[in-house]
Each structure stands twice: as C-alpha cells, then as structure tokens.
Amino acid sequence: MRAADMNIAENKSLSDKSPGFLGILLHRGSYHNLLYAFMSFASGVLYFIYLTVGVSLSISLVPLLLGVPLFVAVAAGARGMAAFEANYAGRLLREPIHLPQIESLAGRGWWARLQEVLTDTSTYKSFLFLLLRFPLGLFSLVLATLAAGGILTIGVALAGIVLSQTMQVNLFAGNEQILSMLGMRDGPLEQGLLGIVTGVLLSTISMHMVNLITGIQGRLAMWAASSDRV
C-alpha cells in the first residue's frame, strides 16, 4: 500500500472514532467543522445569489439570443463550485474522493455545449446543492454561534472564579438571585461553576449538531459533483 493511501486510511479511521460527548470539546476536527459552519453561511448566500440571478437573466435574455450562452456559463460555474465544495468536503471528512473529469466545452458550438450541460446530471444536482446551501448555511451559523457562545461562557466563568478567589472581584454581580431561586448558596464560586456547567452543555450539544450538519453538507457536495449521464 502506498504511503498516501495509508495516510488516507489512517485519517479516515481517526475521523470515524467518536470523541465522546464531552471529548468533542477537545477534538481538533470539531473546530475545523465549526470554522466551516461559519463560512458556509457566507458561501451559501453567495451561491444563492449567483444561481437565482444567473438563471433569471438567462431566461430573460433568451429572446435576445444571449440566454443560451449565459445559461451554459452559469451551469459550468455551478458545476465548478460544487466540485470545489466536494474537494474541500473530502479533506474535511478525511474521505478520498474521485470526481469525474469535466469534458471541455472549448471549440464546440453553443447547441453542443447546451446539450452537454443538459445531459449531465451533475448540472441539476449542483443547482440543487447550491440552493440548499443557503438554508443549511443559516442553520449552521445558528449552531456555530451557540457553540462559540458556550465556549465563551466557559472562559468567562473560569475568569470570574479566578478573579473572585484571587482579587475579590465579582464578575457576576447583579446575578445574585439565580442560584437563590434554586435554594442554593449564591456566591461568585457557585455562579462560576454554574456558568461552566451551562457553557459545557451548550457548547457540547451545539458542536455535536455542527459536526452532524457539516457531514451532511459535505456528503451533499460530493453527491452533487458526481456525474451520471441522462
């Protein structure tokens, strides 16, 4: 077995190994997925605008004989975007991916180019994928924000505990009634511990969801980039 194949197999086995419920906070791949979740919303918006504007213009310019070449260009761009996302997803998920070679349209007439685009299923799958990236990206952004908020809560709670124990500075002033309502002693240490527990639960659950939605988007990208002739 070649060294590259061994590395792929090793990386895949590592990705398949679950980090556990709390261990996900120490799992490096989870933070890669978190970054991808933040970026997926921005790219989803750009893809949505590109596709809706491009297809709309193509339809409106058909009477001027510009619609067909514009649609071919839009479809080629969509397939290229899906291939880019599929390659990135393959690295992110640590799974080898072999994309079909896209036939060059250079030197062909517009009718032949249109036939090539219309008979390749990757065209339709790429369109669907780019449209789905907007709602999936929005959902990913919400989950990533919750995860980041949970991590920030842990950091603030730890800082509050350290400051309350060393410098008698209470970062939780004004929240004295939170634990009292539960019949518990309400002090800086207790409030800090409550913040840590809350942050851990929020960030852990959110990051598990981020990993799940990232995996879904990655496999959708690889599906969209695959090609089967109609």
C-alpha to C-alpha distances, 4 to 1, 10, 101, nearest whole angstrom: 8, 10, 21
User: Are 157 and 192 contacting, i.e. CB atoms less than 8 angstroms apart?
Assistant: yes
What are residue 99's phi and psi, to 5 degrees?
-80, 145
Confirm if 62 and 71 have CB atoms less than 8 A apart.
Answer: no
pLDDT, tens digit (0-9, with 9 covering 90-100), for 209-225: 998 898 888 888 888 87
User: Residue 151 contacts by C-beta under 8 Å, 6 or more apart in sequence?
Assistant: 25, 199, 203
Q: Would you call 106 exposed, middle or buried from its count of C-beta atoms within 10 A (0-12, 13-18, 19+)? A: exposed
Q: How far is CA 114 from CA 70, 103, 119, 163, 192, in A?
A: 10, 13, 9, 67, 63
Taking the C-alpha atoms of residue 211 and residue 32, their distance in angstroms, rounded to an integer, is 9
User: Above pLDDT 70, what percent of the chain?
Assistant: 70
Tell me the domain boundaries of the chain. Answer: 3-225
| CA 26/CA 140 separation, integer angstroms | 20
> In this predicted structure, what is the pLDDT of residue 229?
55
Q: What is the pLDDT of residues 111-140, one digit of tens each?
A: 666 677 777 788 888 899 999 999 999 999
